[in-house]
């Protein structure tokens, strides 16, 4: 696979799409699996960085072909060009990432509309037939680190004031029964880095990067929006419950969020480039328990 070099990628694109010869090419942020190239702020081309990423990209395109017709929310219409090198192409969903600071600036009506839109998205996604999605290539979502590894690698990196909350969360996780709603095909990556949010109009234009979509425990679907704000998660959960008739366990979502962040810290504990960000992520969650309670303080929620 080529290195993340704009000239290499642009030549590969122009060989297949010569009409783009005079276009403007820009490297986007390299992901874990692929490097993306923006062309004319109109098209996105993704180049996998290794063989595992190639398989993930092919799987993502196949799943999106089934997902798109069933959703109200726009998602990429991805085509694959086998190359070499192999790459994908889709029209860019216009918008920017939605990070925590920008969410805090949104007025009440925009927050509620976003929560409703995402609640409907998850409700529609979870209606997809699990066997059909598995046949199309959906796999179990990645497992987290064993609690013994989390205790050995993540907890020693935390400030003393966070240790009690972190250990209590791990103990609560150990006691969790199986998910009462079982497994589902889901996105399992619904944080603000995968959102095309129109900040001027204060609404979501679409979601992208379905490489981590797959089959997993239903409640896990709702932890990733906590990277934006627990307030948003609460709104999503309330909208989802109305759309599906399911009742979700807010405490379970909170426990899973904490364990997920600790697992990510354990995974990158020996990586000096990423460990500071992982520590901040854990600290943001465990240092403000009143923030976590916002999941259950949504308007109209009496649980």
Q: What is the pLDDT along the chain (303 residues), one digit of tens a residue?
A: 445 689 999 999 999 999 999 999 999 876 667 899 999 999 999 999 889 989 999 999 999 999 999 999 999 999 999 989 999 999 999 999 999 999 999 999 999 999 999 999 999 999 999 999 999 999 999 999 999 999 999 999 999 999 999 999 999 999 999 999 999 999 999 999 999 999 999 999 999 999 889 999 999 999 999 999 999 999 999 999 999 999 999 999 999 999 999 999 999 999 999 999 999 999 999 987 655 655 555 434 434
Beta bridge partners of 46: 36, 88
Please, what CATH class does the domain formed by 100-296 belong to? Answer: alpha beta
CA distance 213 to 215: 7
Sign of CA dihedral 240, 241, 244, 248: positive
Please state whether the peptide bond connecting residue 113 to the residue before it is cis, i.e. omega within 30 degrees of 0. Answer: no
Q: What local confidence, expressed as pLDDT, does residue 83 receive?
A: 82
Beta-carbon neighbour count of residue 170 at 10 Å? 18
Tell me which of 3.30.200.20, 3.40.50.880, 1.10.1660.10, 1.10.357.10 is the CATH number of domain 6-91: 3.30.200.20
CA distance 93 to 206: 6
Phi, psi torsion values for 61, nearest 5 degrees: -65, -40
The boundaries of every CATH 3.90.1200.10 domain in the chain are 100-296
Q: What local confidence, expressed as pLDDT, does residue 270 receive?
A: 94
What pTM value is reported for the model? 0.91
Q: What local confidence, expressed as pLDDT, does residue 301 receive?
A: 44
The boundaries of every CATH 3.30.200.20 domain in the chain are 6-91
Residues 6+ apart with CB under 8 A from 9: 2, 25, 27, 35, 37, 45, 47, 87
Q: What local confidence, expressed as pLDDT, does residue 34 receive?
A: 85
CA distance 2 to 129: 37
CA distance 250 to 234: 8
CA distance 32 to 48: 9
């Amino acid at each position: 696979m080529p290195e993340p070099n704009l000239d290499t990628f642009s030549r590969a694109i122009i060989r297949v799409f010569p009409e783009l010869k005079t276009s403007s090419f820009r490297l986007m942020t390299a992901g874990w699996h692929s490097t993306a190239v923006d062309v004319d702020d109109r098209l996105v081309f993704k180049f996998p960085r290794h063989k595992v990423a190639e398989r993930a990209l092919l799987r993502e395109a196949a799943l999106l072909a089934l997902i798109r017709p069933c959703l109200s929310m726009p998602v990429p219409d991805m085509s694959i060009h086998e190359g070499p090198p192999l790459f994908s192409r889709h029209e860019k969903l216009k918008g920017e990432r939605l990070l925590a600071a920008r969410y805090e600036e949104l007025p009440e009506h925009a927050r509620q509309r976003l929560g409703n839109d995402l609640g409907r998205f998850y409700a529609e996604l979870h209606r997809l037939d699990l066997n059909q999605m598995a046949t199309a290539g959906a796999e179990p979502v990645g497992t987290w680190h064993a609690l013994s590894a989390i205790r050995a690698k993540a907890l020693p990196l935390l400030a003393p004031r966070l240790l009690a909350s972190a250990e209590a969360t791990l103990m609560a996780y150990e006691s969790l029964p199986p998910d009462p709603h079982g497994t589902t095909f889901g996105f399992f990556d619904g944080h603000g880095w995968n959102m095309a949010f129109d900040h001027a109009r204060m609404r979501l234009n679409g979601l992208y990067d379905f490489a981590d979509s797959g089959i997993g425990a239903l409640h896990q679907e709702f932890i990733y929006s906590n990277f934006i704000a627990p307030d948003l998660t609460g709104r999503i959960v309330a909208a989802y419950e109305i759309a599906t008739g399911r009742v979700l366990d807010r405490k379970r979502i909170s426990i899973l969020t904490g364990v997920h962040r600790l697992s990510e810290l354990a995974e990158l504990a020996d990586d000096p480039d990423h460990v500071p960000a992982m520590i901040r992520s854990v600290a943001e969650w465990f240092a403000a328990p009143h923030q976590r309670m916002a999941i259950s303080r949504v308007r109209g929620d009496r649980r």
